[in-house]
Amino acid sequence: MRVHNFSAGPAMLPTEVLEQAQAELLDWDGSGMSVMEVSHRGKAFVARAAQVEASLREVMGISDDYATLFLQGGALGQFAAIPMNLSAPGDTVAYLNTGDWSKKAIAEARKYAEVEVVADTAASNFTTVPQPGSYTVPADASYLHYTPNETIRGLEFDHVPAADVPVVADLSSTILSRPFDVDAHGVIYAGAQKNMGPSGLVVVIVRRDLLGRARPETPTIWDWQVQADADSMINTPPTFGLYLLGLTLDWVKANGGLPGMAARNEEKAKALYDFIDGSDFYSNPVEPAYRSWMNVPFLMVNPELDKQFVAEAAASGLTSLAGHRSVGGMRASIYNAMPLAGVQALIDFMKEFERTHG
């Protein structure tokens, strides 16, 4: 029986995508082999990889001014690749600290450059984002980095930070969830395991004028220019991840593209937040203007009930609702593939749990 999977990642995939992959698993494209078995240098897979790139460009509105790279190592790998590709030793790089993933990116960047945290919302317990005009980005900074959506805290930017330097976004948990202004950024990167496909693939979208700046000591695997020149195939790419990304992009297009995803996700998030806000039993700590559409953390008036809530929910087919270990409580990740029916099932369960334990 399929459950409603509220995991923050690896997250649920669209049922239609999984069914198509299942049907093609033993014989992909008439090859008599699984897509996991064909050569990444073969004509069929090279053509498929090109189609996936074209689909991503179409769906996200990525112009030819940008290179699109399909790499491995997740967002964590890019935490290091970004300063190695965009700065020289001793250069200043600017970061906004809005939560746990921002902090991880900052810690990694400090190994390679002089990090200036130009805004930090820790004093609010990461329940808000820095307001435009409230901070200054050094004119000599190599770039400004931010995390549009913090998965652990359920915090989301409602704007793109403005800067006179390249803006870099870790879009891992919100990519493909709605239209996004690619042209306002120098670099966008995202792990695939939320809205794009399985874990093991990371997509990097980099403005071409920022290529060719990697430090000499940058590992070849992290050199964006080398990867762009080789169509992301300097070694064997994550072929199955690329294949599933292609199927997922087809599903997005068939369901209204990014405007369709936005309408779907806004409706789900509103239903869940409206229920939480109308309850005296549950609460969400994030300022309403900055609540994530993708990750909805919530607390109960009695934290001692947390484990029981998670266990009873799982028994009801609602899985992976435990909050991150660093913050506790519960968290419902409601990415693109989560249907409204899944969110409604969660709300119904929450109502019953409140009735019996409130």
- The length of the chain, given as a count of residues: 358
Residues 313 and 238 sit within 8 Å (Cβ to Cβ): no
Annotated active-site residue in 28, 101, 251, 293: 101
Which residues on adjacent β-strands are paired with residue 169?
Answer: 146, 188
170 has catalytic annotation? yes
Residues 6+ apart with CB under 8 A from 143: 82, 86, 87, 93, 94, 165, 166, 167, 168, 186, 187
Place of tokens 């019996």: 356
Alpha carbon distances (Å) from 46 to 72, 221, 324: 17, 19, 39
**Integer Cα distance of 157 and 292 in angstroms:** 8
Look-up: residue for tokens 């704007």?
Answer: 159
Reference 83, options 145, 137, 136, 140; nearest CA is 145
Q: Is 293 a catalytic residue?
A: no
Using CB atoms within 10 Å of the CB of residue 54, give its burial: 0 to 12 exposed, 13 to 18 middle, 19+ buried.
Answer: middle
28, 100, 103, 194: which one is catalytic?
A: 194
Q: Which are the contacts of 320, defined by CB distance < 8 A and separation ≥ 6?
A: 5, 6, 7, 8, 333
Check the CA dihedral 144-149-151-155 and report its sign: positive
| Residue 194 is among the residues annotated as catalytic for this protein | yes
The answer to whether the CB of 206 falls within 8 A of the CB of 69 is yes
Residues forming a β-bridge with 117: 95
Check 28, 100, 103, 170 and give the catalytic one. Answer: 170
Residues with active-site annotation: 101, 170, 194
